[in-house]
Amino acid sequence: MKITQIEAIPFAIPYRKPLRFASGEVHVADHVLVRVHTDEGLVGTAEAPPRPYTYGETQQSIVAVIGKVFTPQITGLSPLERQQVHARLDRTVGNPTAKAAIDMALWDIIGQAARMPVSELLGGWSDAMRVSHMVGFAPTQEMVAEAERIRDTYGITTFKVKVGRQPYTQDVEACRALRAALGEDVSLYIDGNRGWSASDSARALRDMVDLNLDFAEELCPADDVLGRRWLVSQSTIPFVADESVPTPADVTRELLAGSATAISVKTARTGFTASSRVVNQCEAMGVEVVIGNQIDGQIGTLCAVAFGAAHRATTRRAGELSNFLDMADDLLAEPLVISDGTLRVRPGTGLGLAIDPDKLARYRQDR
Ligand code: MUC
Ligand code: MG
């Protein structure tokens, strides 16, 4: 079987409610649908979400690098020649979500060819994950109301609270109000998207010590090298690296440097192949992992749960799998459903992704 063509289709679906966080905000899911075609008629599907404030990619850059660079490099290879594929893609630096989408679409083809679910090929640990919901910036009472609505509607009991605003005390107040409203049985953790200085992060953690937070993620930039190590060395909870670890090598570097003590694994940026390496590295070093969300749509979320459910290490904590709930629509023919705080892997061969052609025609930006 040979790769014959890769489609990179830009589409745009508005958010009902924008997500705001310290490094940016999202109003429209302006993603790229990636479809890898083969000479045997199998088609693998995934999506790439441009996050310029995190990786520098844009919707146009993803379409361009796939069309002009990656397609000619891997056309003619078999989807099973994964080491060859990655050696060729890695001749180009950066472009993580474009590479990850191709990787996941190739796994979708491999699953279909083997007539096996990709999640079972990846590890087969379980068929579902508990879901963690991200609460973005808003006035405190709106953040509380949002978390209560998500808990009451979907049974979700783990929340990642976006922090990193100035002054830091408004985020402390929001976290305190969330803990008071939701009670002790709910899991809470925070993500600063590099918004605070190391010293404000230390003050905020001290002020929230009684809130029983599970994790603190990217409170200050890893590029504030010594400040970040100083902060992590005094944190009493695991300190998660997210945007500072876009590659497996970055994971090693940040852990060995003492700049992080846990890792966010995002299939949107490391696909399935490199995400497996990250999880293996972390397990070997005794470091906790969390399945993160790149503000994925339903296609990306289905990829994230297929990977997260497949591994023992990634099912220990709830995975961030609910950002799609805020989108006005999506491309999947059969929408994802979160119930009892859980999202199931889609049964069937490959990733079990079917695109609604009418929705794709409505939302695509290239016609
Ligand atoms: C997150 O965990 O940070 C926001 C920016 C980004 O790169 O990912 C999202 C969520
Ligand atoms: Mg993060």
CA distance linking residue 296 with residue 134, whole number of Å: 12
DSSP single-letter state for residue 210? G
Helix (H, G, I), strand (E, B) or coil at 322: coil
Asked if residue 323 has its Cβ within 6 Å of ligand 1, the reply is no
pLDDT tens-digit readout, 294-334: 999 999 999 999 999 999 999 999 999 999 999 999 999 99
Residues of the chain where predicted confidence (pLDDT) is lower than 70 = none
Has the ipTM of the complex gone over 0.95? Answer: yes
Q: Which of 191, 214, 250, 326 is catalytic?
A: 191
Closest by CA to 118, choosing from 356, 355, 354, 345, is 345
Report the amino acid identity of residue 345: V
Asked if residue 243 has its Cβ within 6 Å of ligand 1, the reply is yes
Q: What's the CA-to-centroid distance between 345 and ligand 1, angstroms?
A: 23
Query: HEC states along 11-36?
Result: ECEEEEEEEEECCEEEEEECCEEEEE
User: Which pLDDT belongs to residue 320?
Assistant: 98
pLDDT tens-digit readout, 95-130: 999 999 999 999 999 999 999 999 999 999 999 999
DSSP single-letter state for residue 77? S
294 in active site: yes
User: Which pLDDT belongs to residue 294?
Assistant: 97
359 in active site: no
Q: What Å distances lie between residue 155 and 146, 259, 275, CA to CA?
A: 13, 34, 28
Closest by CA to 303, choosing from 8, 40, 44, is 44
Asked if residue 292 has its Cβ within 6 Å of ligand 1, the reply is yes
Q: What is the pTM of this model?
A: 0.98
Q: Whose CA is nearest to atom 7 of ligand 1?
A: 54
Extended strands (E) in the chain? 3-10, 13-21, 24-29, 32-38, 43-48, 128-135, 158-162, 187-191, 216-217, 239-241, 262-265, 288-291, 319-320, 338-339, 342-344
Q: What's the CA-to-centroid distance between 217 and ligand 2, angstroms?
A: 6
Asked if residue 21 has its Cβ within 6 Å of ligand 1, the reply is yes
162 in active site: yes
Q: Closest ligand 1 atom to the C-alpha of 323?
A: 10
Is the peptide bond between 117 and the residue preceding it cis, with omega within 30 degrees of 0? no
Q: What Å distances lie between residue 220 and 169, 223, 334, 365, CA to CA?
A: 15, 9, 39, 36
Report the amino acid identity of residue 123: G
Q: Which one of 57, 161, 243 would you pick to mutate in the ligand 1 pocket, going by the greatest count of ligand atoms within 8 A of its CB?
A: 243
Pairing between β-strand 32-38 and β-strand 43-48 as defined by DSSP bridges: antiparallel
Q: Which domains does the chain have, with CATH numbers?
A: 3-115 (3.30.390.10), 120-344 (3.20.20.120)
